[in-house]
Amino acid sequence: MICGCNFPNCPRPTIYEASERDFHIVFVPDATSGVYARGLDELKRIGVAVQDVEECAAWVQQAPITGGKPA
Q: Cα separation of 43 and 26, whole Å?
A: 10
Closest alpha carbon to 27 in 57, 50, 10: 50
The domain locations on the chain are 2-70
pLDDT in tens, the chain (71 residues): 888 889 999 899 999 999 999 999 999 999 999 999 999 999 999 999 999 999 988 888 887 766 655 55
Beta-strand relationship, 65-66 and 69-70? antiparallel
Strand intervals (E) in the chain: 2-4, 26-32, 49-50, 65-66, 69-70
23 class by beta-carbon count within 10 Å (0-12 exposed, 13-18 middle, 19+ buried): exposed
